[in-house]
Amino acid sequence: MKCLNVYAKKENIDLAVNFVDDYISKLPCSNRKHFCIVVDEIFSNIVKYAYDNDQGKCQIICDYDVGSKTVILKFIDYGIEYDPLKQIDPNILLSVEDRMEGGLGIFIVKNFMDEMIYERKDNKNILVLKKKIN
């Protein structure tokens, strides 16, 4: 298990992505790019929305369950409560002009990951993402 504590600010998006990519690179994983996209999306959302223009911290935990061959990513922030599982999936069959703005990033995360778990505990947003790898 590895842990990164970082301020949720735009300048740290690459740091967050590279932290997870470095962890994943040591595992037998054929879809590392998916993890990079997921981390970019989740961390970007924390940066944009969690702290309402204030600067707050984010913790990213990477873990791997050998038995189930599952990567586990956990994002913890102390920002505004937000449950991405309640986000309505966009109608991707509509044209870009006819589609409502927003929601596509979370939709991508939902489709790249096998499981998403959200809880609000002790004034923290805790988002757990799980993905089986080869």
**Residue with tokens 């993402």, as numbered in its chain:** 129
- Contact of 87 with 105, CB cutoff 8 Å: no
Q: What is the mean pLDDT of residues 85-91?
A: 72
- pLDDT confidence of residue 104: 67
Give yes or no for residue 125 having a pLDDT over 70. Answer: yes
Q: How does pLDDT run across 14-63, given as a tens digit for each residue?
A: 999 999 999 999 999 988 999 999 999 999 999 998 997 778 999 999 99
Q: How does pLDDT run across 58-77, given as a tens digit for each residue?
A: 999 999 999 999 999 999 99
Domains in the chain (CATH in brackets) are 2-132 (3.30.565.10)
Going by pLDDT thresholds of 50, 70 and 90, the confidence category of residue 88 is confident
Determine which of 10-19, 77-86, 92-101 has the lowest per-residue pLDDT on average: 92-101
Q: What is the pTM of this model?
A: 0.90
- Contact of 106 with 44, CB cutoff 8 Å: no
Residue in 115, 21, 42, 29 with CA at minimum distance from that of residue 72: 115
- pLDDT confidence of residue 52: 78
